[in-house]
Structure 1
Amino acid sequence: MHKVRLNNGTMIPAIGFGVFLIPDDGTCEKAVGCALETGYRFIDTAAAYMNEAGVGRAVRASGLPREEIYITSKLWLQDYGYDAAKKGIENSLRNLGLDYIDLYLLHQPYFDTAGAWKALEEAVDEGLIKSIGVSNHTVGFLEKLMPWMNILPAVNQMECNPLFQQKELRKYLKPHDIRMQAWYPLGHGSSALMQNEVLKGIAEKYGKTVSQIILRWHVEEGIIPVPKSVSVQHIRENYDIFDFSLDENDLQAVRSLDTGRGSHNPDDMSYGEKLLKAYRIHD
């Protein structure tokens, strides 16, 4: 498994397997089991995905040593604030059935992120979490939270793909050595991305699929992609990206596709209330 180093000295696999929208009815467990069998060693879940338990069952069923599997989960908005976050961390550990979580993120940038971050930092000190980070945090949200941090985020997981490359945010993260992770690295199957003629041409050149070219581009840009699928074929295909490299002309061709537009704008402050209403993970 190819790995990259985070700013706290720990190592993380260069590609992850995401489980967003995969139901915890056996489907999640089956998909994660297939991913681990394929070679993935980084599984990305979240409290709000409501499938942490399925991920935990798949990890135990795999027979792989715990230290070989990198587990990420995320604290949901309902559990923001110091006291609530302490309980949220406990709930994630209990749902996963694990003694520790490799990486734990603030899932969204709204409400009491400072109190929640303090709880995450204490969980690191207690050995419950190895690394901490954020998700969906734009430059403005990061600058607001930074003064409250004793530990810098190891990662910022954001929407990122060749049509939305987060160039300004990545420029901001670089001097802090905060690694970008990508959700929707394949654009959620967007035809504008998957049928892009430039990407199709590059894929033909290397004898790869468009998805493989996109994921390889992420890796070569230093971004950790977290693709999701329940298809055995796609799970295996998405992992098969380490036997080739894109030349500089092709990297530049992909870079030229950036539109600067994603599926939503985290800086819209009304989004926090909408998310809180849409995802209620407990009473």
Structure 2
Amino acid sequence: MLWKIIIKQDKAGKLKAIGVCNCYPHVLADICETVDIIPAVNQIELHPFFQQPLALKTAKEYGVICKAWGPFAEGKHGIFTHPFLSEIGEKYNKTAAQVALRWNVERGVVVIPKSVHHERIEQNIDIWDFQLNEEDMKAIEKLDMGKSEIVDHFNPEFVKMIHSVKVHD
């Protein structure tokens, strides 16, 4: 029902684009197969430790852009100093974090990393002057754990908790 309201607002010219978030491949396919206007973006968890290749493939099939939330894995796995990512970074004179961002960009993922530190904000922008080689891209694939360690959308208790969060009066 909500999607129908969003479509109505889009057709009335009140929206520039429609997006979704946290849609696993089967959910995105279901949405795209049943609506008049396909979402422009799907914001999902994407980082070297949770790579979601099927989500990327499915989105690409429907022309949906993936945007990474948590592209730094919420700091887990020591991503900012991860030995393997740091080793790759040394080849390009980049940090582990820059390697992680560039890796996602090269997969066609939009990244908008969060930081409150001026130096890190500058580093996050400074990813456009290098390209990871195929060997590095393949090596980073080996870091994938195949699951999130941040959220579990399949856990009913997590879903209940999300619905209990009060965002306004």
Fold in common (TM above 0.5) = yes
Is this contact kept in 1: 2:72–2:100, CA < 8 A?
A: yes
CA distance 1:144–1:271, shift in 2 (3 Å): farther
Percent identity, aligned pairs only?
A: 35
Q: Partner of 1:181: helix, strand, or coil?
A: strand
- Structure 2 residue corresponding to 1:236, chosen from 122, 129, 148: 122
**Is 1:253 aligned with 2:139?**
yes
**Is 1:265 aligned with 2:152?**
yes
For 1:193-208, what aligned pairs fall within 5 Å after superposition?
A: 193-208=79-94
5+ residue gaps, structure 1, are 1-114
Deviations 1:218-267 (A, max 9, x none): 11110111210111111111011111111111111112211112122223
**Is 1:217 aligned with 2:103?**
yes
How far apart, CA to CA, are the structure 1 residues paired with 2:155 and 2:34?
22
Which is further off, 178-187 or 140-149?
140-149
Which 4+ residue blocks in structure 1 deviate beyond 4 angstroms? none
Match of 1:185 in 2: 71
Q: Shift of residue 191 of structure 1?
A: 3.7
More strand by share: 1
User: Cα RMSD over matched residues?
Assistant: 1.7
**Is 1:275 aligned with 2:153?**
no
Q: Shift of residue 135 of structure 1?
A: 0.3
Q: Shift of residue 146 of structure 1?
A: 3.9
Is this contact kept in 2: 1:198–1:253, CA < 8 A?
A: no
Q: Shift of residue 174 of structure 1?
A: 2.0
5+ residue gaps, structure 2, are none
Match of 1:160 in 2: 46
How far apart, CA to CA, are the structure 1 residues paired with 2:157 and 2:62?
29
CA distance 1:147–1:191, shift in 2 (3 Å): closer
Is this contact kept in 2: 1:163–1:193, CA < 8 A?
A: no
